[in-house]
Every structure is written in structure tokens, then in C-alpha cells.
Amino acid sequence: MRTASTAVTTALLCAVTGAALAGCSDGAVPPEPSAAELLDRANDTMKALTSVTVDWTYTGTAGAGGGQSGHMTTDLKDTCATRLTWVDVGTYEQIRIGDTAYARSERAGKRWTRTPVDKETAELGPTSCTQEFASFGTATKGEPTEVGGTPAIPLVVTDKADKGGTYTFHVATEGKPYILKVDYKGPEHRTTTTYSAFDRPLDVRPPAAAGG
């Protein structure tokens, strides 16, 4: 049986959050979304982006190789600019615009070369501009936190297919539910990936001079 205080509290919640929310019309407070639902919403939001900036670091544990860092601005389709840096190798840069890719590396004298993109393998190799945003495994909520000053909720995901690995997706809780950061800790390596500049105009152009 609902008490008078419960009814008043519910009415206040509906007034603050908006009467259009499901459940407010009959005085019921809408249920809090589960971790899986939050992750699904975040992935759908990221898939709908027209552009995003991605930064990541990779660190191998003992005996699993060196480190790598990367930076990419992309339309998540076929236009992107990527910079990769390996601890023991150096830097590799690539610009892809549609069916054409431009690349250069420190080992090749930093000279840009131009090559056509193989459409059949483009999304599997180094010319890929895409990012995978898909839900998997079992998700649980962590304690509220902040990423770069933006309030976020950590969603900790484990998957039977990845023994010993744990993913933590930090999803924004103000504004659109963007994925702000993903941390992965596994037995052989660790990665941190951050996303920013959501839907900002993409400025990716061919290099001033490129051979090929």
C-alpha cells in the first residue's frame, strides 16, 4: 500500500525528471537500467557517431612484448588519420580517404607513399577506420566516478571466452551515454582506450606530397 509520503516523493521525482518518463503517469518510479542495458545504450550511441578521436596505450606484461600507443581521428567508416608508436620500432602514420591510403614511417625516411585500399581486407588490416562497439560477456556496475571531469559509471565486463581478462567501460552519465574510456587487464597485456571529440567536424586531408 502506498503511503502519502511515497506518493509525494514519486510526484517530485516525476516533476524533476519529466512526466514523459515511463511510469510517471501512474505514479510509479521507472526502474533503474541494468549494467547490460547501460552498455547496450552506450554502444548504440557510439555506433551512431559521425566522428570520434581515439587514443590508446598497450602494455605487455612480463614476456609478452613491448608497448604501443596510438591516436586516431575517424568517421568510423572509410576516412581516418592514424599515428602508431612502438617502444622499440618507432612511428608509423597513415591517412585513409575512401579507397586511397597514404603512409609513412621513420624507417622509410618519413616519405609518404600512396597505395589503393584493398576493400576486401580494409577493415581487418592497418587501413581500418572502424571501431567495434558491441556488448558481450557479463556486465556489473561499479562505483560512480569521473573521466576527464565528466561523471561516469564504470561497467565491469568479464567473458568466459577471455579467461583472466577484465574490461571496464566508463560510460558518461550526463548528456549522451558516450563511452569515455575502456580499460582492459589480462594475463598477457593491458590496454587503455579513451574516446573524445564526439561528432566534431573531421579534418582529414591528403598529405602535401605523396608518391605512389
Task: List, as one string, the DSSP characters of 96-165.
Answer: EETTEEEEEETTTTT--EEEE--TTTTTTSTT---------SEEEE---EEETTEEEEEEEEE-TTSTT-
C-alpha cell, 44? 548504440
**Does the pLDDT value for residue 5 go beyond 80?**
no
Is the pTM value of this prediction over 0.85?
no
Question: At 14, which amino acid appears?
Answer: C
Q: Model confidence over 176-188: pLDDT tens digits?
A: 999 999 999 999 8
Q: Model confidence over 39-48: pLDDT tens digits?
A: 999 999 999 9
Question: At 170, which amino acid appears?
Answer: H
Which of 20-34, 53-67, 85-99, 112-126 is modeled with the greatest confidence? Answer: 85-99
Cβ–Cβ < 8 Å for 138, 159: yes
Residue 68: CA count within 13 A, CB half-sphere: 15
